[in-house]
């Protein structure tokens, strides 16, 4: 299990990265770590952190035995590459999850893991309810995009370990930078399976998202 947590979270505002914002009295990262470390079958959680926030990250993982910290990189992809190199175990499956998604449910994690075991790679997705427009540099609408086959991607994204390692090796050799891990696997020509995501599995991007996450966790409506 890999949690990239080295980002600056600049869209949230303020100087505190979003993964360290307080959520029900604990940092967001605290909740994300425990969503995975408590699951049966999770042999290791690797957290990629900015060295400037190492002490705070270690406090988030206090008392958890199967936890490893590695230095994050300049980009998310660099952080995950460092995490892959720093893993102390060799699990059959590796899940990669945004540290800023603290409301992930056990059911979603299990669905992704099962699909990844069966297909080699799997990610959770959600349909797009709004109409999608393509615009030009001036802001004028160029086209309306049929959304029937479009989905937004979430995490955790799951992969058989050899496949993810191959994808990262290939990306490094070819200079590929992906917006998520499944894209790197796609670039190998390997099909990625999807499973139903969850609306409650929100990513904290803006300050108001913290309030939403607090409501989800406080009411126990994860999933």
| CA dist., res. 88 & res. 91, Å (int) | 10
The CATH number of whichever domain residue 153 belongs to comes to 3.90.550.10
* Cβ pair 67, 33 in contact under 8 A: yes
The residue ranges of the chain whose pLDDT is under 70 are: 9-13, 221-223
pLDDT of residue 219: 84
pLDDT recorded at residue 222: 64
End-to-end CA distance of the chain: 20
Q: Is residue 182 part of a domain?
A: yes
Nearest to 54 by CA among 36, 65, 38, 70: 70
Flag whether 223 is in a domain: no
What pLDDT score does 221 carry?
Answer: 64
User: Residue 38's pLDDT is what?
Assistant: 87
Burial class (CB in 10 A: 0-12, 13-18, 19+), 90: exposed
* Strand duo 45-49 + 121-127: pairing: unpaired
Q: Is residue 19 part of a domain?
A: yes
Report if residue 185 sits inside a domain: yes
Q: What is the predicted pLDDT for the residue at 13?
A: 56
Domain with 12 in it: 2-218
Furthest C-alpha separation in the chain: 54
Instruction: Supply 157's token pair.
Output: 């994204």
pLDDT of residue 166: 98
Alpha-carbon distances, residue 2 vs 47, 92, 173, 189, 211 (angstroms): 6, 14, 22, 23, 25
Three-class SS state of 49: strand
Q: What is the pLDDT of residue 112?
A: 99
Query: Given this model, what pLDDT does residue 9 score?
Result: 61
Query: Looking at residue 10, what is its pLDDT?
Result: 55
Asked whether 154 and 197 are in contact (CB, 8 A), the reply is: yes
Q: What pLDDT does residue 15 have? A: 82
For the entire predicted model, the pTM comes to: 0.93
Q: Tell me the two tokens of residue 124.
A: 């959770």
Residue 31 tokens read as: 């909740």
Tally the domains of the chain.
1
């Amino acid at each position: 299990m890999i949690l990239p947590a080295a980002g600056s979270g600049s869209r949230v505002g303020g100087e505190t990265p979003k993964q360290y914002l307080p959520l029900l009295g604990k940092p967001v990262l605290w909740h994300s770590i425990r969503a995975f470390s408590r699951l049966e079958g999770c042999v290791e959680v690797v957290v990629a952190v900015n060295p400037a926030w190492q002490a705070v990250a270690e406090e988030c993982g206090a008392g958890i035995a199967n936890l490893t910290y590695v230095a994050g990189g300049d980009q998310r992809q660099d952080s995950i590459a460092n995490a892959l190199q720093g893993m102390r175990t060799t699990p059959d499956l590796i899940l990669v999850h945004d540290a800023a998604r603290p409301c992930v449910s056990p059911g979603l994690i299990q669905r992704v893991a099962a699909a990844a075991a069966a297909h080699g790679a799997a990610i959770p997705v959600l349909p797009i309810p709004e109409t999608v427009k393509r615009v030009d540099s001036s802001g004028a609408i160029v086209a309306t995009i049929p959304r029937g086959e479009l989905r937004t991607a979430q995490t955790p994204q799951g992969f058989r370990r050899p496949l993810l390692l191959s994808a990262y090796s290939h990306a490094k050799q070819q200079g590929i930078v992906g917006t998520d891990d499944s894209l790197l696997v796609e670039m190998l020509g390997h099909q990625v399976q999807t499973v139903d995501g969850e609306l409650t599995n929100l990513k904290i991007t803006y300050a108001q998202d913290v309030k939403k996450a607090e409501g989800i966790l406080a009411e126990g409506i994860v999933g």
